[in-house]
Amino acid sequence: MTTDADDSIRPFEVSVGRDEIDDLRTRLERTRWPDQLPETGWADGTEREFLRDLCAYWRAEFDWAAFEDRCNEFDQYVTTIDGQRLHFYHVRSPESDATPLVLSHGWPGSVTEFLDVLGPLTDPAAHGGDPADAFHVVAPSLPGFGFSGPTGERGYDVPRIADVVADLMARLGYDRYVAQGGDWGALVAALLGANYPDRVDAIHTNMLFLNPSSLEADDPTDLLDEQGLADYQETAAFRETETAYHEIQATKPRSLAYGLTDSPAGLAGWIVEKFRAWSDCDGDLESWIDRDRLLDNLSVYWLTGTIGSSMRLYAETDVGAATPDSVDVPTGHARYPAEVYKTPRGWAEAVYDVEYWSEQPEGGHFAAMEVPELFVEDLRAFAGEFG
């Protein structure tokens, strides 16, 4: 990894200009809507009338000052690591002995997924909790996402991002910490645990990456109990029917990026469908995740023009090669019922040092946004157990 001449850490605030808002509103007003066959609903993609309503709200009613306030509630910064601008929240707890924690998001989320958990994690006493459960929290916008801006060269895969996150924690003065993540962030956490065991006390994930080929069995399904086999079959069915997005983004992300970078309605249609399909909303997304929170996430992608670089991560990352064969630091895993990638526990225990496993009553792929209280409680329980 290269050494940057400028390792300064600079304060950052989100500020949305009037020209940016006016441009977004004009584009939304001039959207050309595709046809939709009667009674097809969400079967072949985002339902048109849902998207019309969401985009009408984004154009006319979304409160940009409130968006700025939500983004700027906690201290955030930018720095440069490995030639890449890196944006991050750094929220220190009032408890001096708090546990350092780094949170890593994935796609199609952003660092806004964590806005509802930063307060309770860092200052539990102010949120009805025990001060002993406090964390100092670092939450970066992964390179290529959001306020970190697009990556500027080839080779920014997930292992390189994990190294950037490790360098960030060192730059902030944390020589020991816990890593947590979901989606791509779960692979970041796994790589931190595998490659930096001298710095990482433990990892906690909402997903678990592993290679079945690395398991010591002629037929890996032989390692599975009844629940594990059901998890395997459910995830296999998801891969067969719901991963066209992955194939496109892993092969021709730029072709798709033209439309999504130019059309806010197109961007919303591509991302919102995933939030509906991957969350525990039972088909009613806005009753489960507040409309403004969905638009916070969309607005970050739109304002920063990073949908293309965020999708490019799929083309850059060879998941099989990137996934570690073993992770030997203490590992906790929270199983949310609507999570679309369910790794069987029997496989997980063959690769990770699983010391904690919780079955959550509700929640899905975007746990910190969907069920922030459960997310916080589980992290506290895990940290209390392994500590």
Distance, CA of 289 to CA of 295 (rounded, Å): 10
Structural element, H or E, at residue 367? helix 367-370
% pLDDT > 70, the chain: 98
The single residue of 157, 167, 183, 201 carrying the catalytic annotation is: 183
- Checking if the pLDDT of 220 tops 80, the result is yes
Distance, CA of 243 to CA of 260 (rounded, Å): 18
Q: How confident is the model at residue 1 (pLDDT cuts 50, 70, 90)?
A: very low
Instruction: Tell me, yes or no, if 365 is annotated catalytic.
Output: yes
pLDDT tens, residue by residue, 108-160: 999 999 999 999 999 999 999 999 999 999 999 999 999 999 999 999 999 99
Strand partners, 203: 179, 331
Instruction: Classify domain 10-386 at the CATH superfamily level.
Output: Alpha/Beta hydrolase fold, catalytic domain (3.40.50.1820)
Residue found under tokens 């690591």: 81
Residue found under tokens 């799929």: 314
Average pLDDT across the chain, whole number: 96
Instruction: Tell me, yes or no, if 183 is annotated catalytic.
Output: yes
Strand 10-11 relative to strand 76-81, pairing: antiparallel
Q: How confident is the model at residue 249 (pLDDT cuts 50, 70, 90)?
A: very high
Residues 76, 140 contacting (CB under 8 angstroms)? no
Task: Pull the structure tokens for residue 158.
Answer: 């997930």
Instruction: Tell me, yes or no, if 314 is annotated catalytic.
Output: yes
Cis before 197? omega within 30: no
| Alpha-carbon dihedral angle through residues 274, 275, 278, 284, given to the nearest 10 degrees | -120
Q: Strands, E, within 69-134: which ranges? A: 76-81, 84-91, 99-104
The domain locations on the chain are 10-386
Task: Pull the structure tokens for residue 72.
Answer: 């700027």
Q: How confident is the model at residue 96 (pLDDT cuts 50, 70, 90)?
A: very high
Cis before 108? omega within 30: yes
pLDDT (0 to 100) of residue 3:
44
Range 50-55 average pLDDT: 98
The single residue of 87, 204, 333, 365 carrying the catalytic annotation is: 365
The single residue of 89, 232, 245, 314 carrying the catalytic annotation is: 314
- Checking if the pLDDT of 163 tops 50, the result is yes
The residue ranking higher by pLDDT, 265 or 216, is: 265
The DSSP output letter for 148 is G
Distance, CA of 269 to CA of 283 (rounded, Å): 15
Residues 79, 138 contacting (CB under 8 angstroms)? no
Distance, CA of 335 to CA of 206 (rounded, Å): 6
pLDDT (0 to 100) of residue 214:
79
Q: How confident is the model at residue 387 (pLDDT cuts 50, 70, 90)?
A: low
pLDDT (0 to 100) of residue 2:
42
- Checking if the pLDDT of 19 tops 90, the result is yes
Distance, CA of 272 to CA of 372 (rounded, Å): 19
